[in-house]
Amino acid sequence: MTAGKPAYYVTTPIYYVNDVPHIGHAYTTLACDVLARFKRLDGYRVHFLTGTDEHGQKVEQSAEKAGIDPQSFTDRVSQNFRDLSKLMNFSNDDFIRTTEERHKRSCQELWRKLVEAGDIYLGSYAGWYAVRDEAYYAESELEDGPDGRKIAPSGAECEWVEEESYFFRLSAWGDRLLKLYEEQPDFVLPAGRRNEVMSFVKGGLKDLSISRTTFGWGVPVPDAPGHIMYVWIDALTNYITAVGYPDTDAENFKTFWPADVHMVGKDILRFHAVYWPAFLMAAGVPTPKRVFAHGWWTNEGEKISKTVGNVIAPADLVERYGLDQVRYFLLREVPFGNDGDFSNKAIIGRMNYDLANQFGNLAQRVLSMIAKNCDAKVPQPQAFEPEDEDLLRATALLLQDVRADMDRQQFHQALTKIWKVVSAANSYIDHAAPWTLKKTDPARMATVLYVLAESIRQLAIITQPVMPDAMATMLDQLSIDPSERDFACLERQLKPGAPLPKPEPIFPRFVEEEA
């Protein structure tokens, strides 16, 4: 570990290779990317993990349909998620695939630990199973289809399956899980999701089927020919594989585990907040510090579905609106943790009001005035007046407020606070009217423009995790050296006399093309 640097480990869920990357995948990974970038700027050594879940019956069947072997199939479709990272400018440190040898070794060692602990036993499983969902359903959850077939709530067809299976004694872990939630009240966030999890556990837990014999594409169960591990053990173990498990003495494992945040969609919260900590406690491995479950997006008020044909492709959004504009909108529009609605009107509103009118226009006005009236150099300020100090104090206090919000994954609140200071800077320029001072008091004009330029520098540095490219351009326009853009540099101030390049607009207004 780098001397003196605290560690921070953030993970996305691993994405199922049978999916095509959509707005939900982009949203989860974006949240992790912003956290990772923020922590790096704040002096942390960060490990940011994403990846793909590549085993299971659905993959086996899809590969067969495509006329290729499952490994070749997963090699091809896993690339879609690497491409998403590139498209969205994600800064992940690792990309894990469950078909890698390091992962098979990790899963098998965890399995052996669970066997040694007496928490795995052999039994048989019978139930209604949907291959499409890779899930079992109770009879009470099913409806009769037109041809007499059983249909799951998801619309997937179910078949009756009976097979020999290994089980994990989840039923024995209820009290210990409840104790974990009580002792770590922020283990599950937001608070409403924590209540759901506690209610589920208090309702009584059933033992969990964790192996399959009806298909072969998966991690083999040690010492049990014909059995492969089911998704719970296989997929969840990726988080410890990536930091070196089973080598718990390795520097990476000791540095980064337990994870600081597992970011997940609300549909997979139960696996992460109930099954995963139970597996870890049974194996004698520390539990993660937090599981944060965010909400889902709708599209113009409608549930997103392939059937309806309203799936939102991240590439289409980026092409139409711009990368940093999309990143900003997704984290500003909705309180993180709640469900949100994507609409063209809403994103255009954010782009034109928040970005173009407020922040972009502020920077353009200030830098243009400096270029014209201060010889294109950072102006030399005189003594600060109370209104100058008020704005400088607001920007100086911003980091601690934003840091507190980031530490609870409240991205929308962090951005609201940043924009409050943007708004304060706009009010300040309107009130101070440097264009009038140019004729009446040039020294005061220089002071006002210096205060504004310094405020923009601080705002741009703090906003980098959300809009890295746009803020890099803004900092370039203030001639800030790339080595002076982390949060430690907020305490320094702009050097008067430093030459500035010609200002260019950063956030152009978005104009709808006429049909």
* pLDDT digit string, tens, across residues 197-253: 999 999 999 999 999 998 999 999 999 999 999 998 999 999 999 999 999 999 999
d(CA 492, CA 43): 16
Stretch 40-63: mean pLDDT: 96
Cβ burial 15-37 (10 Å sphere, 16+ → b, else e): bbbbeebbbbbbbbbbbbbbbbb
Residue 69 has a pLDDT of 96
Q: Beta strand 120-130 with 157-168: parallel, antiparallel or unpaired?
A: antiparallel
Q: Where in the chain is the domain with CATH 3.40.50.620?
A: 7-295
What does the pLDDT look like over 341-385, one tens digit per residue?
999 999 999 999 999 999 999 999 999 999 999 999 999 999 999
d(CA 170, CA 282): 10
99 CB-near residues (< 8 Å, 6+ apart):
54, 55, 71, 74
Query: Residue written as tokens 């809403």?
Result: 346
What does the pLDDT look like over 154-208, one tens digit per residue?
888 999 988 899 999 999 999 999 999 999 999 999 999 999 999 999 999 999 9
d(CA 345, CA 150): 41
Query: Residue written as tokens 């630990």?
Result: 113
Q: Beta strand 7-11 with 45-53: parallel, antiparallel or unpaired?
A: parallel
User: According to the CATH classification, is domain 7-295 in 3.40.50.620?
Assistant: yes
Backbone conformation region of residue 502, classed left if phi is above 0, alpha if psi is from -120 to 50, else beta: beta
d(CA 409, CA 31): 8
**What is the 3-state secondary structure of 153-217?**
CCCCEEEEEEEEEEEECHHHHHHHHHHHHHHCCCCEECHHHHHHHHHHHHCCCCCEECEECCCCC
Q: Is 75 exposed, middle or buried (0-12, 13-18, 19+ CB in 10 A)?
A: middle
Q: Is 506 exposed, middle or buried (0-12, 13-18, 19+ CB in 10 A)?
A: buried
101 CB-near residues (< 8 Å, 6+ apart):
none
Judged against a pLDDT cut of 90, whether residue 324 lies above it is answered with yes
**One-letter amino acid identity for 343?**
S
Judged against a pLDDT cut of 50, whether residue 515 lies above it is answered with no
Confidence of residue 2 (pLDDT cuts 50, 70, 90): low
Helix (H) or strand (E) holding 106: helix 101-116
User: According to the CATH classification, is domain 343-491 in 1.10.730.10?
Assistant: yes
Q: Where in the chain is the domain with CATH 1.10.730.10?
A: 343-491
**One-letter amino acid identity for 101?**
E
Is the CB of residue 413 less than 8 Å from the CB of residue 405? yes
Q: What is the pTM of this model?
A: 0.94
Q: Is 477 exposed, middle or buried (0-12, 13-18, 19+ CB in 10 A)?
A: buried
Kindly tell me the sign of the dihedral angle through the C-alpha atoms of 249, 252, 254, 258: negative
What does the pLDDT look like over 448-496, one tens digit per residue?
999 999 999 999 999 999 999 999 999 999 999 999 999 999 999 999 9
Say how many CA atoms lie within 13 Å of 279 toward its Cβ. Answer: 27
Other Cβ atoms within 10 Å of 406 Cβ, number = 19
Query: Residue written as tokens 């746009």?
Result: 470
